[in-house]
């Protein structure tokens, strides 16, 4: 995974006329230069107007992929609310993080994005409300986001720190290798940890060859062995509780 942070955006909540009434909203995020502190509840200086649907520990930060911008440029032009080549400013979608390199169909709940000074975990997709129509300038925007599933994702803060535009993130990718891989198994195990890939296998003798977690059959029950060293090379921190139930452990416990 090669993920780049294009912009860090935030805004305070303010009243805005929507559908003929005044509505409190913080959807109009603005880009910030330099490092921005990130705590358990989100970005320093950022607000959410309705905490029943945004914000909190599990939805502290909202990220949106910039790869969807051409689609939204087209539909906004078709709706005659913007020019065909009019760029979309960072924060228009209400996102705190404008990203490049990670789409919704490549992300899983629980995936961890490791930045230089901060760790975030994907928690859930966004379900847009009526305020998104107002931000985009036409009434079908909410339906289009929901039907396309190009909704971005919320993140919780695993390790507070700072974020800034230009930061890159790394993540742990998981590769399952079965015993049927045969001769290819050894080559794949040797190459994967150096590429930040966590290997899980069910092949005998694979733990020392490069697998971080290997499933084994013991007394007609499925157990698992753990290589602490290979897990750490792949960027995975294994908890003491998980190690406590492992069948076999190679390497020093953290």
87-to-20, 83, 185, 243 alpha-carbon distances in Å: 27, 9, 47, 50
CA distance linking residue 123 with residue 118, whole number of Å: 16
Band (220; pLDDT cuts 50, 70, 90): confident
Please calculate the CA angle 78-81-87 and round it to the nearest 5 degrees: 90
Band (169; pLDDT cuts 50, 70, 90): confident
Q: Does domain 173-250 bear CATH number 3.40.50.2300?
A: yes
Closest CA to 106 of 182, 53, 15, 171: 171
**Portions of the chain given CATH number 3.40.50.2300:** 173-250
CA distance linking residue 10 with residue 16, whole number of Å: 17
pTM of the model: 0.72
173-to-23, 149, 233, 234, 240 alpha-carbon distances in Å: 42, 22, 12, 8, 21
Backbone angles phi and psi of 177, in degrees to 5: -125, 115
Band (188; pLDDT cuts 50, 70, 90): low
- Which pLDDT does position 235 carry in this prediction? 65
6-to-30, 61, 95, 126, 205 alpha-carbon distances in Å: 13, 15, 11, 20, 44
Between β-strands 30-31 and 42-43, what pairing exists: parallel, antiparallel or unpaired? Answer: unpaired
Q: What is the DSSP-derived secondary structure letter of residue 238?
A: P
How does pLDDT run across 2-56, given as a tens digit for each residue? 789 999 999 999 999 999 999 999 999 999 999 999 999 999 999 999 888 889 9
Do 152 and 9 form a contact (C-beta atoms < 8 A)?
no
Q: How many CA atoms lie within 13 A of 164 on its CB side?
A: 6
Beta bridge partners of 7: 98
**Portions of the chain given CATH number 2.40.33.20:** 3-169
CA distance linking residue 33 with residue 9, whole number of Å: 9
CA distance linking residue 204 with residue 179, whole number of Å: 8
Name the CATH code of domain 3-169 (choices 2.40.160.60, 2.60.120.10, 2.40.33.20, 2.90.10.10): 2.40.33.20
How does pLDDT run across 147-166, given as a tens digit for each residue? 999 999 999 999 999 999 99
């Amino acid at each position: 995974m090669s993920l780049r942070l294009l912009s860090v955006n935030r805004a305070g909540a303010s009243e805005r006329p929507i559908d003929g009434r005044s509505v409190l909203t913080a959807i109009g995020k603005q880009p910030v230069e330099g490092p921005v502190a990130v705590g358990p509840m989100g970005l320093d200086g950022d607000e959410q107007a309705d905490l029943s649907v945004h914000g909190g520990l599990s939805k502290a930060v909202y990220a949106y992929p910039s790869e969807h911008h051409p689609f939204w440029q087209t539909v906004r032009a078709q709706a005659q609310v913007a020019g065909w080549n009019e760029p979309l400013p960072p924060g228009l979608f209400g996102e705190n993080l404008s990203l490049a390199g990670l789409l919704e169909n490549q992300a899983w709940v629980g995936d961890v994005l490791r930045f230089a000074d901060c760790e975030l975990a994907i928690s859930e997709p966004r379900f847009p409300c009526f305020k998104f129509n107002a931000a985009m300038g036409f009434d079908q925007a909410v339906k289009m986001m929901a039907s396309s599933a190009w909704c971005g994702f919320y993140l919780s803060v695993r390790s507070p720190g700072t974020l800034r535009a230009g930061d890159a993130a790394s993540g742990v990718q998981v590769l399952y290798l079965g015993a049927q891989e045969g001769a290819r198994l050894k080559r794949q195990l040797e190459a994967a940890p150096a590429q930040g890939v966590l290997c899980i296998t069910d092949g005998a003798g694979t733990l020392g060859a490069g697998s971080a977690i290997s499933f084994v059959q013991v007394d007609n029950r499925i157990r698992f062995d753990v290589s602490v060293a290979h897990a750490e090379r792949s960027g995975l921190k294994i908890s003491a509780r998980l190690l406590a139930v492992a069948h076999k452990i190679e390497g020093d416990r953290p």
